[in-house]
Structure 1
């Protein structure tokens, strides 16, 4: 083909318990429970530094400009009148980095528990519990109920259901999955759809 990518492509083959450190975030690879190899990913963003208190700096007589940058880095500065100001006293508490989990084919959502809690969990909810219980042959997939119970136990804030069985596309049945999840989970519940973009 004549396709040329305008960027370098780097392929990283994953294995269970692998950790990929990308500086501002880490990705932990979790082997999942399925009939063929399947993996999930825990993405942990680095903590953000606390906010710089501009009002406090002004009240201390620090002139705006290059000294602010030093204080924001937590450095100690000396003012023209000889006073020393410790920058760490002008910076608020660090903001905890977000943690999300993305699960592939898997019948055991609690495999992610050692990384909990999560701000966001994106995971398969292939069936309602009723439909799963009445399948003639069981597959290694998660029900909305089992996922919601696991998410509740792991302290998830927002749960996004994906990998939905096509049987729920008809007659608006997808709402059955959402309702089942909401009966067992106190946080926000949504269903993923193609090309959806979310802000974390």
Structure 2
């Protein structure tokens, strides 16, 4: 698995690249239920042709997301990667929703925001629909929660949405966008 040193936008070293591809391949083969009918060699060929996407996957892995292919877009042919860690990625917790929320805090500011962190990684926060789609593939966020993309009308009023799974049910909640908790992070998606 890639090391946990801080992320950057530099190209991956050959060793980082090979280690990441080996990790992704092992996860892909272990979890075929997430992507029935897809072939790893096809996914890898696409990844090798798109170093920026490979860099984003490295950041997803480095921050604890355990990214995996969850399907393929029938129109574009793009593979869809989601964070598939059992709980919200450890390296992305204790963050508020976005830059505006971060700046609105007068004291005890978190180190980062979910929207900005995702943008820096080259990924997007899951939507509520994508979060529910992921939950059909397993049980995620049984002890944690994850920020999801929030509709502008809710965000303009100061709120933001997050989801989790409890009592064998997926719940969607709201909170002030400036809030942050040790058990709340975000899950991302990447199209390759």
Above 0.5 in TM-score? no
Q: TM-score scaled by structure 1?
A: 0.29
Higher relative contact order (CA 8 A, sep 6+): 2
